[in-house]
Structure 1
Amino acid sequence: MSGSLRGPLHRSILALDLERSSARNNLIKVEQRRELYHVLREAMRAAGIDEHYCEPIADRGDGVLVLVHPVDEVPKSRLLVPLIPELTRLLVDYNDALPVAERALRQLRMRAVVHAGDLLCDDHGLFGTELDAAIRLLDSDVVRELLRETTTPLVLVVSQQIYESIVIHGYDGISPESYHRAVEVHVCGLTRHGWLHVPAGHGQPIPITAA
C-alpha cells in the first residue's frame, strides 16, 4: 500500500435505511431526512456515543452510515443497548404524533445493521469488504420483508461477528433469545450470516418465530 491509502482500520459499523423512501415526494424526503438525523443524534446522545469518537456521519440518500472508532468510551454493546431501544422509542413517539390521516405516508420506519471490522481509507473515505458485508445484510430481502410484516418502526440485523462477540454474552441487558439467525449473504467469496432482532417501541423485544 502506498500514497494516501491507510489501514486496515477497525471500525464499528451502524447503518440505517428508510423504508419506502422512493415512494415519497421530495418535500416528504426533506422532512424524513431531517427527522432521521435528529432521532439518530438523540439516540446516540442517550447511548453515550459522542460523535467525537465517530467518523462524520455519512449520508446515503435514504439512510445514514455511522463508523465508530475503537475506543474504550464506546464499547460495541452500546450500538445495541441502549442505542437501538432508544432509537425505536423515538421513532414510535414521532410516528404517534403524526396526524392519523398522514401517518402511512409520513411515518419513519427503517432497517438497521450493526457490524464491525477492518476497513481501508483513501482520499475519498473508508471502504472495504466488511462495509460491503454490512450493507448487504441491511439490504437483504429477509430484513426488508420482516420490516413490512411488523408494526414496530425498526428492525435490526447484526452480523455473526457481533452476535458471537456481544449478543450471546448478554452484555448490558441484551436478550440473546430475541435474536434469530435468518439472513445469508455472499461477499468476496464468503458466506455471511445475519441475526434478526425486532425491538419493541416500549418494553421487551418482540420474539421472532423461526421459519
Structure 2
Amino acid sequence: MSTAIPVQPRHRTIFAVDIEGSTTRTNFERAMFRNAMYDLLEEALLLSGIEEGHRDLIDRGDGVLVLVHPVDALPKTKLLNSVIPTLHDLLVQLESDRPEHSFRLRAAMHAGEVHSDERGWYGEDLDITFRLLDAPEVKRRLKQTSAPLVLVVSQDIYRSVIRHGYDGIDDRTFQPVVQVHIAGQRLRGYVQVPAALTA
C-alpha cells in the first residue's frame, strides 16, 4: 500500500473532446483520427493564445482532456469565443481538404478543482466534465446535425460566463437539454452546436 500524501485542490478550466463513433473504427483508423485530433486541437489552442506552459494535455484514447491554468490572460471566455469556433473551422477545413481523414467531435467545458498524483489527474469536477461529454443527449445532438462539433457546458459555466453575454458569446445558442447525476446531485448541461453561429 502506498503512503498517504496530502490531497491539495488546484483550480483549472476543464475542456475535453471525444471522437464520435471511435469504437466502430479499426485501429489503423483510430491512429489516423487521433493524430488529426491532436493536430487540430493543438492548432486551435495556439491560435487562441493558450500556450503549452499554461495547460496540461491528458490523453484519453479517443479523446483529450485539457486543463487550462488560471491565468488572467486566459479567461474562460477564450475557450468559448476562440478555441471552439477555431476548432470548428479547422474540422470543416479538414473535411473539405481530406474527407477520408475527417471526423466529428463532442466537446465539454467545466471549471473546478482537480487533483493529481503519480498516476494522473482525478477529482469530482473531472467526473462532471466526462459525464457531460458522454451524456446520451449530447451524442444524440451530434447525430442530428451535419456540424463537425457539438459543445456541452456545465451549469456553472453557463451561470458564471455564458448568460452574461461576454464578447462573442450568445446565450441564446445554448439549450439546457442535459442532466447528469454526480454524488447524489442532479446537474444540468447546456448544449450548443457551433455551426449554428455561422448560419
Classify the TM-score, shorter chain.
over 0.9
SS of structure 1 residue aligned to 2:8: strand
Alpha-carbon distance, 1:126 to partner: 2.1
2:182 equivalent in structure 1: 187
Q: CA deviation at 1:184?
A: 0.2
Fraction of identical pairs, as percent: 44
Cα deviation, residue 125, structure 1: 2.3
Match of 1:63 in 2: 63
Tell me if 1:142 matches 2:143. no
Aligned residues of 1:198 and 1:205 also touching (Cα < 8 A): no
Aligned amino acid, residue 90 of structure 1: L
- How far residue 205 of structure 1 moved from its aligned partner, in angstroms, is 5.0
- Runs of 4+ in structure 1 off by over 4 angstroms are none
Q: Which residue of 1 aligns with 2:40?
A: 39
Range with greater deviation from structure 2 (12-21 or 164-173): 164-173
Change (3 A) 1:3 1:71: farther
Deviation at 1:172, TM superposition (A): 2.3
1:42-67 deviations in whole A, cap 9, x for unaligned?
A: 10011111121112x11111000001
Distance in 1 of aligned mates of 2:75 and 2:198: 21
1:85 to partner: Cα distance = 0.4
Aligned partner of residue 80 in structure 1, secondary structure:
helix
Q: Given the alignment of the two structures, is residue 129 of structure 1 paired with residue 130 of structure 2, yes or no?
A: no
Q: What letter corresponds to residue 12 of structure 1 in structure 2?
A: T
Contact 1:5–1:123, Cα closer than 8 Å, also in 2: no
Question: In structure 2, what is the Cα distance between the partners aligned to 1:172 and 1:91?
Answer: 23
Give the match for residue 92 of structure 1. Answer: 92
List gaps (5 residues or longer) in structure 1: 207-211
- Are the aligned partners of 1:11 and 1:118 in contact in 2 as well (CA < 8 Å)? yes
Report the equivalent of 2:72. 72
Question: Residues of 2 paired with 1:30 and 1:121: CA distance?
Answer: 27
Contact 1:4 1:123 in 2 (8 A): no
Instruction: Measure the CA separation in 1 of the matches of 2:162 and 2:145.
Output: 22
Q: Is the CA contact 1:47–1:81 (under 8 Å) kept in the aligned structure 2? A: no
Aligned length: 197
Partner residue in 2 for 1:27: 28
Contact 1:49 1:74 in 2 (8 A): yes
Normalising by structure 1, what TM-score? 0.89
- 1:5 Cα shift? 3.5
**Structure 2 unaligned runs (5+)?**
none
